[in-house]
Amino acid sequence: MKKIYWIITLVLACAFTNVNAASRGNIRDNSLSKKEKRDGWMLLFDGQTSAGWMNAITKSFPTGGWEIKDGMLVFDPESRKQKGGGGDIVTTDKFRNFELKVDFMYTRGGNSGIKYFIDTEANNGTLASIGCEYQVLDDRNHPDAKAGINGNRTLAGLYDLIPPKPKTDNGENTWNTAKIVVNDNKVQHWLNGQITVEYERGNQAWKDLVAKSKYNNSLGFGEVQEGRILLQDHGDLVYFKNIKIREIK
């Protein structure tokens, strides 16, 4: 039954890959247009290899769990069961001020996240997966949507800190586009072209917000000057593609 589910889901993913490519003006997935290149964008995932990514703790790409299939970077819990591996993966490069775009697709009841300001070396690696999180969640079917405070654990919010503004979620087994913009201490989350979260980190309001969250024991949470980008292994099937970043000078 699980094998059949995986096949159906993969077929749907491929179909939506083709639709998404058409909507991007026939620009191939995991590629940059001439304008994007002129504007300073670069790919964080080439659609074919794991280049630029590593496990947040081991510093090498996992042997299982994470797979590259049909131009997508996929976390597959069945692969982790069969091969081991998995875990959160991070970029090998660090970033300070940037605009990040990621196409993602969650499955029914899915939970994952896109984290930033990740310092994998802090406290001898004990904070390797701790950072600000753009929540990826099936709000309709995952219990976390009703946890937290005022929806601060829902899709496109700043996990456990700031709930998102009204948003357009394309739903399960459908591609959504996340955008995260960091300009010094000012940060924005976007979903499908709509801004969902705005905040400023490092000030007293930020410190007060963190003090009331699950990160209250993480000294200086979210205040590192530069860090890695992280894709989360939360145990659920999730897909990523068209991962690209533009550094803001």
Q: What is the Cα–Cα distance from 235 to 86, expressed in whole angstroms?
A: 9
Task: Give this prediction's pTM.
Answer: 0.90
Stated length of the chain: 249
Buried b (16+ CB within 10 A) or exposed e, 123-136: eeeebbbbbbbbbb
- Give pLDDT < 50 ranges for the chain: 5, 21-23
pLDDT digits (tens, 9 = 90+) for 48-87: 999 999 999 999 999 999 999 999 999 999 999 999 999 9
pLDDT at 21: 46
pLDDT digits (tens, 9 = 90+) for 102-127: 999 999 999 999 999 999 988 777 77
pLDDT at 128: 84
Amino acid at 187: V
- Residue 206 is part of which domain span? 2-247
Q: Residue 22: which residues within 8 A CB-CB, separation 6 or more? A: none
pLDDT at 10: 53
Q: Residue 93: which residues within 8 A CB-CB, separation 6 or more? A: 52, 228
**CATH value at residue 160:** 2.60.120.560
Domain count across the chain: 1
pLDDT at 122: 82
- Token duo for residue 120: 């994998």
- The answer to whether 157 touches 166, Cβ cutoff 8 Å, is no
SS3 annotation, the chain = CHHHHHHHHHHHHHHHHHHHHHHCCCCCCCCCCHHHHHCCEEECCCCCCCCCEEECCCCCCCCCCEEEECCEEEECHHHHHHHCCCCCEEECCCECCEEEEEEEEECCCCEEEEEEEECCCHHHHCCCCCCEEEEEECCCCCHHHHCCCCCCCCCCCECCCECCCCCCCCCCCCCEEEEEEEECCEEEEEECCEEEEEEECCCHHHHHHHHCCCCCCCCCCCCCCCEEEEECCCCCCEEEEEEEEEECC
pLDDT at 8: 52
